[in-house]
Structure 1
Amino acid sequence: MTTIHPSLVSILALVVLTAIMPCRAEFTVVLPDSSGLVDRPQNGFSNFARTDPAEQRAVYEIMAATGNAWATAIPDVCRGRWHGIECMPDRNYVYHVVSLSFGALSDDTAFPTCDPAHATLSPALLHLPYLRSLFFYRCFSGDHPQPIPAFLGGLSPSLRSLILRENGHVGPIPTELGNLTSLRVLDLHGNQLSSSIPPSLQWLTRLQSLDLSYNKLTGPIPDLRNPTLNVLDLSHNFLHGQIPATFGQCDSLIKIDLSRNRLIGSIPDSLSNLKSLILLDLSHNSLSGPLPSSLGKLISLRALLLNGNYMSSATIPEDGFAGLKELIALVLSNMGLQGPIPESIGELPSLRVLHLDGNKFNGSIPQSFRRLEKLSELSLNNNRLSGPIPFSKEMLWRIGRKLRVYNNSGLCYDASNGRSEGIDSMSGISYCETETKRVVVGAASARISGYQTKHLSSRTDRGPPSRLSSYAPTHRSGILRLLVPFTGFLLSVLPLL
């Protein structure tokens, strides 16, 4: 498993934190009149209030099946206001179970515990007709992995959220889950599910978040046309085939993560219809070029990660990304891209992270990069660039050791931008000699390869380093950190579902 340089963490987290706030309303679910429940807290019970006895017995059975020793110690599962059990009354003051959550997310989360060595999913779940949210976390991850039972497809028609995270579930995703037509959130992250994604998930026309990441799923991605879908995460599987063009019909999408699969073919132009898309991560697949200029129509995009798709001989369209005025992170590392770096990349006013390393770019660094006033990380190493580095000494101080330009054929620092003792100390970025000779980056960095790590390890992140780092970052764990705010956000709104 590869790791990423930790410097991407704060920038990529900002991508989501600055973007999800306007989307909060998208996840609010209005309770239908047909539920027969009154939307009010479960405290303030009157003397006449009571919990439905059949549902109370069902909760006891469910808790016993999870290995919870104190299940029957709860005299009334609703009136006790127990963590992980939420209830709502009907108009006759009869309280019904609407949410169950099992498994400890942290030391501060006192949900009912599970015994992974013995826990099972009980069919008593079918006796909770008002259930809207079901959550199990690390409850069934013992020595005997269990499949997801098909009977879950018969859960309450009111179910909005089904989350079975990191439970060690094996086998296929049950086709019967397509019967849960009120579902807004389906999260099966971090199990060992195999086989293909069932086409029946297309029937979930109200689905807002689908997370099947970190499993062992195979086969093609089914055509998804869910008009309400906001979040799609199928990363870290073994999916193959092409990216469905029908994704362009899911015009509510704000996040697509298909990274770490075996996808082939080109990036479909239909993705340009996704005007609300904030994150697009297609990294580490086998996608082929050319890079579509239509990506420049994703006007809300904050992060674009295509690294690890070897698009031999592909180039970046001159104005292909010009419309991405909100873009914060652009990662195009190790893609076999060639030709000059377009000047238009320097016209992206929000850009903070730019990784173009491990390609075959030639020519000079665009002068327009001087105008990237928010840039805090730049990787141009392992290319074929030459000529003067156009950055001012102020910009070099701002980026500091997060500037990586080693292993290029002829880069040097233009002394006309101002000389300083700090710049002189940067071995690997030497001044251009206009009359007789110039010392190039490639030669200098070869001489310091065994020396630089020691000097960098004692430095802070600001100011020019005494030795130019040869550390070439990878990107996946930064992507994971980027996704955490999405996951936390979805979990925070589950009570609303």
Structure 2
Amino acid sequence: MRNFKAFGHVIIALFIISLSAWCHGQVELDKAPMEKAEKDALFSTIQGFVGNWWNGSDLYPDPCGWTPIEGVSCDLFDGFWYVTVLNIGPIYENSLSCAKNLEFRPHLFELKHLKTLSLFKCFRSQRRHQVTIPNANWENLAGSLRSLEFRSNTGLIGKIPSSFGVLKKLQSLVLLENGLTGEIPPEIGNLKKLNRLVIAENYLSGHIPDIFTALGDLLILDLSRNSLSGSLPLTLGCLTSLLKLDVSNNHLEGNLLKEFAYLKNLTLLDLGNNRFSGGLTLSIQEMHSLEEMVLSNNAIGGDIRILKWENLHNLVSLDLSNMGLNGEIPESIIQLKRLRFLRLSDNNLTGNLSPKLSTLPSLNALYVSGNNLAGELKFSMEFYGKMGTRFGAWNNPNLCCPLGAIATSNVPFGVKPCQQQIKLVESNTNGSDVNKTFYSIASLCHAPNHFWWTFPFIMILFLNSYIIGL
């Protein structure tokens, strides 16, 4: 018993000693110093963006201690605090706000352990106080910088620095919604560790450089909403790990790439609002992982039936509107069980609209307006009720809906009712049969309600005349 108590006392003593050492270590960690050069570089950098009024006087014991700056993170290297993350702009509720007249100071490039740099809604003035990204000194951050982002800086103008190409450890480069001009520098192709490249919603021009051979780790490529021209580079086919490709809203032209067939992991392909032509390419049907495909507003043309649409069994959203496509809507689309959104508007599609489309379990939007579809719509009233305004079939002159659908409110807007021929056989007083044909033609599907209460009386008059004739 005594031995057991003695053992327990030893355990308690060891626990107290360990706890004391841990607490002492925590205090030392919290009080870890920051080199004066690092602190001065950080303060000068921040003042360049938010103004000289800021001096960090409320920080204790330093910017990485108990009262850190919101948007600034630090890490320990050889017993000293160093800045690793610098986010400037209204990212957080109590983030530092940028001044109207701000600048990049060279002290930024003295933060030798900086991994993340983000400037959000800082350079806002499009006329006064415009700023360009410096081209020099980025090599000082080449050993540490992993993420570089400039978002929503409309007053950030000029060219993308070619010196970004020295940032060999960069994994994410985001230049989104700025005022940048010029061409995409080919030096971006040196960033072999990139997994995200977003240079969207700027004023960039020229061709997309053929730089993707070495960017095999790229997962996201977004060059949308610029003024890029020319054809797509063939080396896009080297991006076998790519998940998202968006080059929409540019002036790109030429044929769709056969090299798309190598993009087996792609989940989003958006080529909308460009000038592509030459018909659909068979390589598209090889992208089995596609969930969203937008090819709309391109003069691509050709027969929609050229592809085996059933191969794209993961499709959730498909937009092929305003492409000059012809042919009948393929039955194979009915096999896309995950499809939620289907837009085929403003093409030259012919034939009837298969009622089997209503069997797609996830479909909640179907637009086929502005084509040459013909025949009678044979969807159920439940389908029209489910789709509501998300079913569009107007501007198909030879397409009609059955008269029985007119009595409901869930009818397709802009589709005329089908003409119904009624053939009655009447006998005159001389015993001879006289064939008379009557046509019942309603107005539009959304006919006024007063038409319907008069219809039974008309039928009674017809029947009465027929009986009297007997």
Is the CA contact 1:189–1:211 (under 8 Å) kept in the aligned structure 2? yes
Give 1:431 shift.
5.3
Is the CA contact 1:370–1:390 (under 8 Å) kept in the aligned structure 2? no
Percentage of identical aligned residues: 32
Residue of structure 2 equivalent to 1:101: 87
Alpha-carbon separation, structure 1, partners of 2:292 and 2:233: 21
TM-score, with length taken from structure 1: 0.75
Residue of structure 1 equivalent to 2:147: 161
Q: Which residue, out of 197, 215, 231, partners 2:202?
A: 215
The 3 A distance-change label for structure 1 pair 197 and 405 is: same
Give matches, 1:141-160, under 5 Å.
141-142=124-125, 143-151=128-136, 153-156=138-141, 157-160=143-146
Which residue type is aligned with residue 150 of structure 2? L
Alpha-carbon separation, structure 2, partners of 1:395 and 1:43: 65
Alpha-carbon separation, structure 2, partners of 1:287 and 1:47: 59
1:208-244 Cα shifts (integer Å, max 9, x gaps):
1111111111111012231111111111111111111
Task: Check if 1:199 corresponds to 2:186.
Answer: yes
Is the CA contact 2:393–2:413 (under 8 Å) kept in the aligned structure 1? no
Q: Which residue, out of 152, 155, 170, partners 1:183?
A: 170
Alpha-carbon separation, structure 1, partners of 2:351 and 2:225: 36
Is the CA contact 1:166–1:191 (under 8 Å) kept in the aligned structure 2? yes
Which residue type is aligned with residue 198 of structure 2? D
Which residue type is aligned with residue 193 of structure 1? L
Task: Check if 1:247 corresponds to 2:236.
Answer: yes
Give 1:423 shift.
5.7
Q: Which residue, out of 309, 315, 323, partners 1:327?
A: 315
Which residue type is aligned with residue 255 of structure 2? S
Give matches, 1:255-274, under 5 Å.
255-274=244-263
1:460-488 Cα shifts (integer Å, max 9, x gaps):
xxxxxxxxxxxxxxxxxxxxxxxxxxxxx
Which residue type is aligned with residue 255 of structure 1? K
Which residue type is aligned with residue 152 of structure 2? E
Which residue type is aligned with residue 298 of structure 1? M
1:295-329 Cα shifts (integer Å, max 9, x gaps):
112111111111110224x1213443221111111
Q: Which residue, out of 350, 373, 392, partners 2:361?
A: 373
For CA contacts below 8 A with separation 6 or more, give which structure has more relative contact order.
Answer: 1
Q: Which has more radius of gyration?
A: 2
Residue of structure 2 equivalent to 1:172: 159
Deviates more, 1:144-153 or 1:170-179: 144-153
Q: Unaligned regions of 5+ residues in structure 2, if any?
A: 1-24, 423-438, 449-470
Is the CA contact 1:103–1:138 (under 8 Å) kept in the aligned structure 2? yes
SS of residue matched to 1:444? coil
Give matches, 1:278-289, under 5 Å.
278-289=267-278
CA RMSD of aligned residues (A): 2.5
SS of residue matched to 1:374? coil
Is the CA contact 1:148–1:174 (under 8 Å) kept in the aligned structure 2? yes
Which residue type is aligned with residue 130 of structure 2? P
Which residue type is aligned with residue 382 of structure 1? G
Give 1:61 shift.
0.4
Is the CA contact 2:89–2:121 (under 8 Å) kept in the aligned structure 1? yes
Alpha-carbon separation, structure 2, partners of 1:426 and 1:177: 54
Residue of structure 1 equivalent to 2:454: none
1:242-262 Cα shifts (integer Å, max 9, x gaps):
111211111111111101111
SS of residue matched to 1:188? strand
The 3 A distance-change label for structure 1 pair 155 and 424 is: closer
Residue of structure 2 equivalent to 1:34: none
Alpha-carbon separation, structure 1, partners of 2:295 and 2:234: 18
Deviates more, 1:284-293 or 1:153-162: 153-162
Residue of structure 1 equivalent to 2:46: 63
Alpha-carbon separation, structure 2, partners of 1:398 and 1:407: 22
Alpha-carbon separation, structure 1, partners of 2:198 and 2:416: 48
Give 1:275 shift.
1.6
Is the CA contact 1:319–1:344 (under 8 Å) kept in the aligned structure 2? no
1:423-450 Cα shifts (integer Å, max 9, x gaps):
686664565455456869xx838x99xx
Give 1:420 shift.
8.6
Q: Which residue, out of 77, 100, 105, partners 2:63?
A: 77
Residue of structure 2 equivalent to 1:357: 345
Give 1:151 shift.
2.2
Is the CA contact 1:84–1:111 (under 8 Å) kept in the aligned structure 2? yes
Is the CA contact 1:347–1:371 (under 8 Å) kept in the aligned structure 2? no
Greater per-residue strand proportion: 2
Give matches, 1:443-482, under 5 Å.
444=444
The 3 A distance-change label for structure 1 pair 44 and 304 is: farther
1:51-109 Cα shifts (integer Å, max 9, x gaps):
1221111011011111343233235111132211100112x42111101000003xx53
Alpha-carbon separation, structure 2, partners of 1:342 and 1:435: 31
Aligned length: 398
Alpha-carbon separation, structure 2, partners of 1:388 and 1:367: 10
Which residue type is aligned with residue 74 of structure 2? C
Alpha-carbon separation, structure 1, partners of 2:40 and 2:319: 54
Alpha-carbon separation, structure 2, partners of 1:253 and 1:228: 8
Alpha-carbon separation, structure 2, partners of 1:438 and 1:346: 35
Give 1:414 shift.
5.0
Which residue type is aligned with residue 272 of structure 2? S
Alpha-carbon separation, structure 1, partners of 2:86 and 2:440: 69
Task: Check if 1:383 corresponds to 2:363.
Answer: no
SS of residue matched to 1:396? helix
SS of residue matched to 1:189? strand
Residue of structure 1 equivalent to 2:285: 296
Q: Which residue, out of 46, 49, 72, partners 2:32?
A: 49
Give 1:333 shift.
1.0
